[in-house]
C-alpha cells in the first residue's frame, strides 16, 4: 500500500517505503529470513537440542547413541516422507500407519503362509501400497471428500483388513529367518567408525533424496507445490490438479509399502499390532519439520529433521533419566511451537 502516492503530500509514498525497508527490527529480519528458508527453524532446534542433551548426559554424544537415534527414527521417518507429500497438497493422510502394518502383513503372509517367493511377495506388497494410495486418491479427487475424513475412514478399513489377514497373529522372527530372511533385510546392521546403522536408515535417506530430486528438479514436483498452494490458480494455469493429487496419493502409498518392509526389519517380526501410533508420529515429524498444514510450503528435508528432533528428545530425556511421560510432554510442545512459528512466518507476505 505504501506504493500508492499520497494525493495530499506528493512523493511521500517513496520515502515511507524506503523508511520501512531500512527500519526493520531484528525480529522482522528474522521473520523474513525464516520465510525465505523455512527449514532453518527445525535445523536450529535440532542443533540446539543435540548440544543441550550432550551437555546434560555425556553418553549422548557417543557415535553409538547418535546412530541408535537414526535407527529408531528410520521407520517413522520413511512414513513421514509419504505424509509430507500429502500434506504438501494441503491434505493429511491418517491412514499411513495402518497401510504400513497392513502391507507388512501382506508381505509376511504371502511369503510365509502361501509360499510365494519373497521378492514377489515384496513386489505385491508394494503394489498393494500403491492400491491403498489409489483408493485414498480416488475418494479425494472423484468424490471430492476431504482428505482428513477419507483417510480417517480408510485408516479403520485398512486396520480391519490387517486384523483379518493376519488373524491377529504375529509371524515370529525365527520363522522369518528360516523362510523369508529377505523381509528382514532393512534390519541388517553395519558399522562405520563406531556408529551402528541399519539398511533401514539408508532406505529412509534414499527416499528423502529421491523425493528432494522429484520435488525440486522435475515438473511433477513444481506442480505438487502449485496444487497445494492454490489449487484454483494451478488449474487455471493449466495444471491437471486431479491427476497431480492422484499421483501424490499413489506415491505416498508406495512409500508406505517401503516403510512396511523396513518395519519388518526393525521389529524383527511381522506384528499386526505394532506401530499403532505411527500415523500421528509421522504427522508430528512433518509439522515439526516446518511443512505447512495449509499446503504448498516447506522443504521435503524438514520432516527428516523433524523426525530426528523427536528421536533426539526421546533419547536425550531417557539418558537423563527422565520419566517417559515427559517425552510426550516435550513432543506436544514442539508441535505447538512449530505450528505457531509457521503461522508467524506466513504473516510476512500479508
Partner 1 sequence: MNQPLLTARGLVKRYGRVTAMDGADFELYPGEILAVIGDNGAGKSTLIKALSGAVRPDEGEILLDGKPVSFGSPLEARQAGIETVYQTLALSPALSIADNMFMGRELRRPGIMGKWFGMLDTAAMHDFSRQKLSELGLMTIQNINQPVETLSGGQRQGVAVARAAAFGSRVIILDEPTAALGVKESRRVLDLIQDVRSRGIPIVLISHNMPHVFEIADRIHIHRLGRRLCVINPREHSMSDAVAYMTGASLPAGVAA
Interface contacts to partner 1, rule CB under 8 A: 1, 3-5, 13, 213, 217-220, 222-223, 225-226, 229-230, 232-234, 236-239, 296-297, 349
Cell numbers representing residue 118 in the block:
519373497
Nearest residue (CB) to partner 1, 226 versus 305: 226
Nearest residue (CB) to partner 1, 58 versus 238: 238
Tell the smallest beta-carbon distance from residue 1 to partner 1 (Å): 7
Nearest residue (CB) to partner 1, 88 versus 335: 88
Q: How many Cβ atoms from other residues are within 10 Å of residue 69's Cβ? A: 21
- Report the distance separating Cα 131 and Cα 85, nearest Å: 17
Tell the smallest beta-carbon distance from residue 217 to partner 1 (Å): 5
- Report the distance separating Cα 135 and Cα 275, nearest Å: 22
Tell the smallest beta-carbon distance from residue 242 to partner 1 (Å): 13
Nearest residue (CB) to partner 1, 19 versus 190: 19
Nearest residue (CB) to partner 1, 292 versus 331: 292
- Any bridge partners for residue 189, and if so which? 198
Q: DSSP 3-state assignment of 171?
A: strand
| 193 within 8 A of 63, measured Cβ to Cβ | yes
- Report the distance separating Cα 273 and Cα 280, nearest Å: 15
Tell the smallest beta-carbon distance from residue 136 to partner 1 (Å): 24
Q: DSSP 3-state assignment of 323?
A: coil
Tell the smallest beta-carbon distance from residue 268 to partner 1 (Å): 36
DSSP single-letter state for residue 322? -
Nearest residue (CB) to partner 1, 12 versus 174: 12
Tell the smallest beta-carbon distance from residue 295 to partner 1 (Å): 9
Nearest residue (CB) to partner 1, 163 versus 294: 294
Tell the smallest beta-carbon distance from residue 211 to partner 1 (Å): 14
Q: Which residues contact 193 (CB under 8 A, 6 or more apart)?
A: 63
Q: Which residues contact 223 (CB under 8 A, 6 or more apart)?
A: 234, 239, 244
Cell numbers representing residue 323 in the block:
520419566
CA distances from 186 to 146, 147, 204 (A): 35, 31, 10
Amino acid at each position: 500500500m505504501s506504493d500508492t502516492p499520497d494525493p495530499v503530500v506528493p512523493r511521500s509514498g517513496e520515502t515511507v517505503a524506503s523508511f520501512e525497508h531500512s527500519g526493520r527490527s531484528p525480529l522482522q529480519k528474522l521473520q523474513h529470513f525464516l520465510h525465505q528458508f523455512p527449514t532453518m527453524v527445525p535445523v536450529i532446534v535440532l542443533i540446539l537440542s543435540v548440544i543441550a542433551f550432550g551437555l546434560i548426559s555425556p553418553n549422548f554424544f557417543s557415535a553409538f547413541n547418535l546412530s541408535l537415534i537414526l535407527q529408531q527414527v528410520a521407520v517413522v521417518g520413511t512414513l513421514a516422507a509419504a505424509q509430507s507429500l500429502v500434506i504438501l497438497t494441503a491434505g493429511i493422510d491418517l491412514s499411513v500407519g495402518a497401510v504400513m502394518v497392513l502391507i507388512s502383513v501382506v508381505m509376511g503372509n504371502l511369503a510365509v503362509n502361501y509360499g510365494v517367493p519373497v521378492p514377489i511377495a515384496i513386489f505385491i506388497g508394494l503394489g498393494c501400497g500403491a492400491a491403498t494410495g489409489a483408493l485414498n486418491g480416488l475418494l479425494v479427487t472423484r468424490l471430492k471428500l476431504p482428505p482428513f475424513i477419507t483417510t480417517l475412514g480408510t485408516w479403520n478399513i485398512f486396520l480391519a483388513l490387517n486384523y483379518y489377514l493376519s488373524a491377529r497373529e504375529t509371524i515370529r522372527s525365527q520363522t522369518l529367518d528360516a523362510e523369508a530372511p529377505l523381509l528382514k533385510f532393512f534390519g541388517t546392521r553395519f558399522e562405520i567408525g563406531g556408529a551402528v546403522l541399519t539398511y533401514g536408515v539408508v532406505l529412509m535417506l534414499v527416499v528423502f533424496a529421491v523425493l528432494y530430486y522429484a520435488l525440486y528438479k522435475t515438473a511433477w514436483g513444481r506442480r505438487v507445490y502449485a496444487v497445494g498452494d492454490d489449487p484454483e490458480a494451478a488449474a487455471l494455469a493449466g495444471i491437471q490438479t486431479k491427476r497431480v493429487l492422484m499421483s501424490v496419493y499413489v506415491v505416498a502409498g508406495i512409500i508406505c509399502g517401503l516403510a512396511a518392509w523396513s518395519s519388518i526389519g526393525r521389529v524383527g517380526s511381522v506384528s499386526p499390532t505394532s506401530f499403532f501410533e505411527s500415523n500421528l508420529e509421522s504427522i508430528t515429524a512433518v509439522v515439526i519439520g516446518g511443512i505447512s498444514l495449509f499446503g504448498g510450503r516447506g522443504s521435503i528435508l524438514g520432516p527428516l529433521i523433524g523426525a530426528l528432533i523427536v528421536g533426539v528428545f526421546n533419547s536425550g530425556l531417557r539418558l537423563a533419566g527422565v520419566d517417559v511421560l515427559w517425552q510426550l510432554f516435550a513432543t506436544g510442545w514442539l508441535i505447538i511451537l512449530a505450528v505457531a512459528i509457521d503461522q508467524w512466518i506466513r504473516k510476512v507476505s500479508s
